[in-house]
A and B are shown apart, each in its own frame.
Chain A
Amino acid sequence: MANVPAELKYTKSHEWVKEEDGLYVVGLTDFAQDALGDIVFINMPEEGDDVASGESFADVESVKAVSDVFSPVSGTVAEVNEGLIDEPALINQEPYEQWLIKVKDVSDTEELMDAAAYEEFCANEEA
């Protein structure tokens, strides 16, 4: 069973998000990293890029597959976790420590699930 921290919010496309000092921090969930397998490459946006709610802002490649990462919010990229570009496997090791981007000037937010709802959503995906 995938780890689902209670304090975060979640999307149906398996990103997690939290609000921190006025920024929205976005990462991939444990369920997502487990489904992808060993992550070997990540293509990231740059600071200052605009992201749109429900649209792809990055892609991650595991040995076998490529997968889009969707933004839960609309806004501007304030910060990128540059460390992941050199060591994308960190997402597999600690998915909730390794955020991908922080977003500022958020104008719109996708409908998000709380931990209980996301856990149920994952259980249905597995079935």
Chain B
Amino acid sequence: MNEHKICFIICVNNNLFFEECVRYIHRLEVPDGVEVELLEIKGASSMTGGYNEGMHNSNAKYKVYMHQDAFLVNKYFISDIISIFQSDRNIGMIGLVGIQKLPESGLMWSGERVPGVYELEEGWERYRYDRKRDGLWEVEGIDGVLMATQYDIPWREDLFDGWDFYDLSQSFEMRKRGYRIVVPVHKQFWHQHDDKPVLSMWDYDKYRKRFIKEYFEK
């Protein structure tokens, strides 16, 4: 495992979004001595399958699994998350949106999500994050828009073979192994996410029930 390498792993089915996403990744400030890798996963049959493929194809210690329609606007993102991981080896995963206590229903939006809404501050300084000053939220699960890890844990494509609940599943898999899941307390959203306000969720319930059976009933 290369401790000086970070890999962005993205499942892609829309080149317009992906190219824009990559534009922001290329804009990130890269700390000295850190290598950045980007893996585009095309034709994945599920998010877990795509992420497992990416995970096995990179020797980067730090991996960032993210949506193609998420844009990293915090240009210090790489140094921020590496500093969080290095501050505590028990932190297994970092997200940008999380849930502190997941309800028994498994519905993420029913619980209290972090972060809330911030007031706009001027300039790039609004993104400066300081681990000691700003802190971390401890969460039970994080949203799949962006999930950064410092340990490779297999994604449960045996159970979550679609596009839902892969995020909560992986969060619980990390916690089962004793790792912490955190969201940095950030002053301004570190990302923009162009998901539209739609609630399709066609297969959502099938995976919700699997999640409950696997993680709440066992």
To the question of whether A and B form a pair in one complex, the answer is no
| Partner-A contacts on B (CB < 8 A) | none
